[in-house]
Amino acid sequence: MTASTDHAAMTVPEILLMLRAPGAGWLATLLTALDEAQRDPDFDVRHRRVLAQLATEQGLPNAVVDAARRRTAAFEIELELATATSRQAGAA
């Protein structure tokens, strides 16, 4: 599936208004994660293509969701270890 070109891109004020809605928690979370990813040099053009492709789909394949959850859990562990190492280095 590809993104529909029937709809004009939303403006920044329109997106800001959407983020004020009570049900916009997930949108805010996804935008925050995307901002962080874009700051990471490892988030390259291939990742951007995959994200764009999956964002236009009506649903995500279960295998992709399961693999993403496993990778997220591993990433959280990596972050916790990095934080613990940083604290230990600061305490020394």
Give the distance, in angstroms, between the CA of residue 52 and the centroid of all CA atoms in the same chain.
11
pLDDT (tens digit, 9 = 90+) per residue, 67-88?
999 999 999 999 999 999 888 8
Quickly list DSSP for 25-46: HHHHHHHHHHHHHHHSTTS-HH
CA nearest neighbour of 47 among 58, 60, 38, 56:
38
Residues 6 or more apart whose Cβ sits within 8 Å of residue 81: none
CA dist., res. 51 & res. 38, Å (int): 12
pTM for the model stands at 0.68
CA dist., res. 34 & res. 85, Å (int): 26
- Residue scoring higher pLDDT (92 or 13): 13
Residue 7: its pLDDT value, please? 72
Helices H, strands E: what count in the chain?
4, 0
pLDDT (tens digit, 9 = 90+) per residue, 18-59?
999 999 999 999 999 999 999 999 999 999 999 999 989 889
